[in-house]
Chain A
Amino acid sequence: MTEALVFMLGLGLICGSILSIASKIFYVYEDPRKTEVEGLLAGANCGGCGFAGCAAAAEAVVTGEAPPSVCIVGGAESAANVARVMGVDAGTAEPKFSSSKCDGGNRAEDSYFYMGVDSCQAVSAFFGGKRKCDVGCLGYGDCVRACLFNAIKIGPEGFPVIDEKKCVGCGACERACPKQVLSVTTIRDRLLHFNREDDCLAPCQQTCPAQIDIPLYIAQIKNGDYEGAVRTIRDRNPLLLSCGRVCPHPCENICRRGIEDEPVSINQLKRFVADREMNSGSRIPIPCAPPTGKKVAVIGGGPAGLTCAYFLKRLGHNVSIYEAMPKPGGMIRYGIPEYRLPKKVLDWEIEGILNLGIRVHTNVKMGVDFDIPSLVAADYDAIFLGIGAWKDYLLKIEGENLSGCHTGIDFLSRIASGESIPIGRKVVVVGGGNTAIDCVRTLVRLGAEEVYIVYRRTRKEMPANVVEIEAADHEGVKFIFLAAPVRVLGDDQGKVTQLEYLKMELGEPDASGRRRPVPVKGSETLLPVDMVISAIGQEPEMTFKGEGKRAQSLKTTRRNTIEVNPETLQSSIPYIFAAGDVATGPSLVVEAIGGGRLAARSIHLYLSGKTVTPPEKSLFKRHIPGTLFDSVPGIQKVPRVPMPEIPVGERIYSFVEVDQVVSEEDAKKESSRCLNCGRICYNKDVAA
């Protein structure tokens, strides 16, 4: 008896001491939550959960692949304890769902007649299936049989429909499908998917800088699933109210319907669902992945910063925004005037993003109130720079600093902050971009009697949105084309009295493909004005670079933007990422949104300890070969729904929103004009 006891004690002692020494020697850092979760699982290593033992299950829980209720032996109590460690409700760990990317296939023509076994795997063996569409669903239902949970059935249109309530994300259907139509994704995977060369994509989705699944949300609107449409847009773009109003919608330019007919009014439909959510008074909940415990600082609360913060938060990271202005929003708050994007709408939109649990510090400026080393010292794991391009270019002509001279962004942001600036009677704005147009339309509303735009090329070359130029025209703005300012003249009190400009003519095309304006000798003309605003472009303000060694080692480009890898948006300092105007130079809001999401992906990779690599097979700005057509046969012309707007007589005296939202009836009508490219195999005999 004593012998046995001594023996067992000795054995235990030897094993214990060897292990404790080994654990010190072979110490490797790992997520502390893993050990904690492992301790809460049953430890029976029975494999009943489908993972290879309790340690594997714990790892899956920590990485968000398995729900806290993973353990079948431990039961409800273990689930509750694990959930507590992970900081989520039991059963709400990142849910995995199967989703089908094909919504059709029955409409495509057959290329041969098939009479074999009823199995997708078998059919696909013969030339990839009998239909002409070689990427779509075959419809024989291998996935239905593979699903152990009866969550999939073949819908009336011959493609799989998934019951999200039953789906557990086991992935059996994904493995069964020979066409990769079904894929099992988590929130993270879905949010971080970028358009790929081998995706089945409509031209509009390929073109959209934010890569919104446009055909899907239009189909959802058509079926009356407005909430679903909002969710689809939010998976790519958190600023749908703003974009629905100000986006110049490059997607519509490439719409296949536009080849034969007017393009689908995509942006109006986005605005319709976005406004509907806002007017309903309740917000559609936004699901987030379980918290990871990592901290990211987002510098700049503009579209790029807000988008990046939004996606990082949804990926489970802890985000704080640092904003130099009194309120977040950046250029879309201070650069876009009230009549295009009402502040009330913007406030509601930003509030929705911040409600996810993002902290905002306003009135703090990088390089003044804090700098890169202080953020590192405050334990931030990564930094995102989205400080925009706020520094106006100067005309570099004589008399530019006379009283009555302003610069575009400065002027707009002061107006937007509620400052009152004395407005002249006759005002001239120099420049042809959106900022110039915003300035003139603002001036009209502020009571200027005569407003001129001076631009050195012609109307055709103006970089501003066409609709904006037209609207300015309607509101009585006078355009002076082919004119280059050379001097601002003032009176003896230092006030502006005249602008002198040279007439130009168009010469050879330059690098941008536009014809270069050449001055006409001796054509000096005087324009009597009492206010001059120059809006000829902006660049990022890099004053923070003066602060300390760290900031100085951040590489910048010739155009004074931050140098980043265009495919990952990582800067020369590995933990700093940049997107939006500060990385691209002045560009579209939707471009900044696309950049914000790409940066969020890279930051997520960086924080997960993986190498920051570009998305695989990414399309970026390119189009999939063969998806841009010259003609689309079988289309019957249906005019697009006109956009309601306030008449000119009413609108020029106030800052009320000019463009109005379409009615539900019109939205339905417009959505049915969509050809469903990339969703349903196109067949001219049944085309809409």
Chain B
Amino acid sequence: MGDYIQMIIGFILVNNILLMQYLGNCPFLGTSKRMETAVGMAMAVVFVLVMAGAITWATETYLLKPLGLEYLRTMSFIVVIAALVQFVEMFLKKSVPELYTGLGIYLPLITTNCAVLGVCLINIKEEYNFMQTIVSSFGYSSGFGFALILFAGVRERVLLGRVPKALQDTSIGLITAGMLSLAFFGFKGMI
């Protein structure tokens, strides 16, 4: 149990997927302009990534490995994830409309989010077992959400600042992300 907690803290703070592993930056910059969007996106990523981690792990262990088709990993993962996201979207829309109004619009965005595919691939590469896969998916996605929400808070403030014209929008966004990443640097060596 202690190991899992350590793993989660490690994934959120030390190996933060956004700021340390450079994954999922397109939605990071795209959806961080507003706090509301950032929170929705963060929740949706946690939601989907845990499920995607589980299902890709199953695909790898029970289909690809026994058949010796590991080289089809990328393609089969993306197909499985896309189908999963579509399915979850339809399910939520019908059965839990409250949740759908909060997360729904972010779900399709996740299909082509490199953080999701990236974490699934990392899970396989590290040869995690099922429980570790779930924990790592949860940890990484929480880290993503944590960084995204922090960043959105900063960015809403930056909007008010006197930013030189050439630096505006994505440019200042990246530099701000750099500062945030520098702050996360402080956690290095914690574990």
Contacts and interface: CB of A to CB of B under 8 A. Distances in A.
B58 interface: no
Contacts of B40: 52
Contacts of A175: 156, 159
Interface in B98-148: 104-109, 111-113
Nearest to A119: B160
B172 to A, nearest CB: 10
Nearest to B113: A45
Given A27-B94, A145-B161, A48 B87 contact: no
A187 B160 CA distance: 27
B98 to A, nearest CB: 13
Nearest to A142: B160
Interface residues of A, number: 37
A12 B75 CA distance: 11
B27 interface: yes
B69 A3 contact: yes
A51 to B, nearest CB: 8
A53 B109 contact: yes
A11 interface: yes
Interface in A34-64: 44-48, 50-56, 59
B67 A11 contact: no
Nearest to A150: B165
B83 A56 contact: no
A323 B33 CA distance: 51
Contacts of A629: none
A142 B161 CA distance: 8
A465 to B, nearest CB: 52
Contacts of B113: 45
B188 interface: no
A52 B91 contact: no
Contact of B80 (A11, A16, A145): A11
A148 interface: yes
A472 to B, nearest CB: 61
Interface string A501-543: 0000000000000000000000000000000000000000000
B109 A28 contact: no
Interface residues of B, number: 46
Q: Which of A28, A45, A121, A145 has the most CB of B within 10 A?
A: A45
A4 interface: yes
Interface in B23-79: 26-27, 29-31, 33, 37, 40-41, 63, 67-69, 71-72, 75-76, 79
A148 B189 CA distance: 40
Interface in A43-88: 44-48, 50-56, 59
A612 to B, nearest CB: 20
Given A26-B95, A28-B94, A145-B161, 5 more contacts: A7-B63, A11-B79, A22-B91, A26-B93, A52-B40
Interface of A: 3-4, 7-8, 11-12, 15-16, 18-19, 22-23, 25-28, 44-48, 50-56, 59, 121, 142, 145-146, 148, 172, 175-176
Interface of B: 26-27, 29-31, 33, 37, 40-41, 63, 67-69, 71-72, 75-76, 79-80, 82-83, 86-87, 90-91, 93-95, 97, 104-109, 111-113, 156, 159-163, 168-169
21 contacts: A11-B63, A11-B76, A16-B83, A19-B87, A19-B90, A22-B87, A25-B90, A26-B91, A44-B112, A45-B109, A47-B31, A47-B109, A52-B109, A53-B106, A56-B106, A142-B160, A145-B163, A148-B168, A148-B169, A175-B156, A176-B160
